């Protein structure tokens, strides 16, 4: 079973369920929202979390499902200079004087085009060390945090040793010329591949044409490039090799 084209670009949410593992004690907090994930990955993810806990590595989910409009806001805010845009090394860039192509490449390094984010699928999550967050650490999501000396070093090593056993992988484990390395981003191998294989680019393109994305004509013209260098240009789930 796969999801509809509307679900695959973050317009419909029937494929999602709340992931409550380890968060039941927070039920009385009405402000607390459970992370939303694809229902089909729920048991694999619960098993992954249970094993991590058993191994004394507690995982926090810092980002799960994100809808089309949220991704559009992120993208447009960056394009307009309302949100910071970072280099591959994590330094803030001045995009004021950039050409459209430079802007596009700089933003696409860290943020997906609305409709082409794997976070729309509910199969992909950004994770962080729960201990660090509970100690008040301000999450940045940088490579340093997941390096051997970083605050997520233990989690990072555990993910490398265990993800595949539970059916997950890191699609941005190495830089392949498109998206920057994101060691915090994990994905369900089977369900994400099913969505990628059946992705309806025509319907996506039609929807983007009707959206209010900045510099629309330029972006639409760049779609084949984006598809090849960012959307499909990820590490493989089978052996986590690039």
Residues lying near Zn ion in the complex (CB under 5 A) are found at 126, 185
Spatial distance between the Cα atoms of 192 and 44, rounded to a whole number of angstroms? 13
The count of other CB atoms within 10 Å of the CB of residue 24 is 8
Find the shortest distance in angstroms from Cβ 110 to Zn ion: 9
| Nearer CB in complex with Zn ion: 221/240 | 240
| Nearer CB in complex with Zn ion: 187/202 | 187
Find the shortest distance in angstroms from Cβ 172 to Zn ion: 8
| Nearer CB in complex with Zn ion: 15/185 | 185
Q: In angstroms, what CA-CA distances link 116 with 113, 165, 220, 233, 236?
A: 5, 27, 13, 12, 17
Closest chain position to Zn ion (CB): 185
First and final C-alpha spacing in the chain: 27
| Nearer CB in complex with Zn ion: 42/126 | 126
Find the shortest distance in angstroms from Cβ 181 to Zn ion: 12
Find the shortest distance in angstroms from Cβ 230 to Zn ion: 13
Classify residue 203 as exposed, middle or buried by CB count within 10 Å of its CB (0-12, 13-18, 19+). middle
Contacts of 7 (CB under 8 A, 6+ apart): 13, 14, 15, 120, 121
Find the shortest distance in angstroms from Cβ 120 to Zn ion: 11
| Nearer CB in complex with Zn ion: 103/185 | 185
């Amino acid at each position: 079973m796969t999801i509809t084209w509307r679900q695959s670009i973050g317009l419909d949410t029937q494929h999602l369920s709340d992931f409550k593992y380890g968060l039941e004690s927070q039920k009385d907090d009405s402000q607390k929202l459970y992370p939303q994930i694809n229902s089909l990955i729920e048991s694999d993810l619960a098993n992954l979390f249970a094993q991590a806990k058993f191994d004394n590595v507690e995982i926090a989910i810092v980002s799960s499902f994100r809808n089309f409009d949220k991704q559009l806001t992120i993208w447009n805010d960056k394009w307009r200079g309302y949100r910071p845009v970072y280099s591959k090394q994590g330094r803030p860039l001045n995009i004021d004087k950039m050409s459209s192509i430079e802007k596009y490449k700089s933003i696409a390094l860290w943020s997906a085009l609305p409709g082409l984010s794997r976070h729309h699928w509910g199969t992909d999550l950004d994770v962080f060390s729960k201990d660090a967050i509970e100690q008040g650490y301000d999450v940045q999501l940088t490579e340093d945090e997941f390096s051997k000396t970083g605050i997520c070093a233990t989690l990072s090593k555990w993910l490398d040793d265990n993800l595949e056993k539970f059916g997950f992988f890191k699609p941005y484990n190495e830089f392949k010329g498109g998206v920057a390395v994101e060691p915090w981003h994990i994905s369900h191998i089977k369900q994400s591949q099913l969505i990628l294989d059946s992705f309806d680019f025509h319907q996506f393109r039609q929807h983007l044409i009707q959206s209010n994305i900045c510099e629309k004509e330029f972006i639409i013209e760049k779609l084949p490039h984006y598809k090849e260098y960012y959307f499909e240009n990820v590490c493989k789930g089978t052996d986590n090799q690039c």
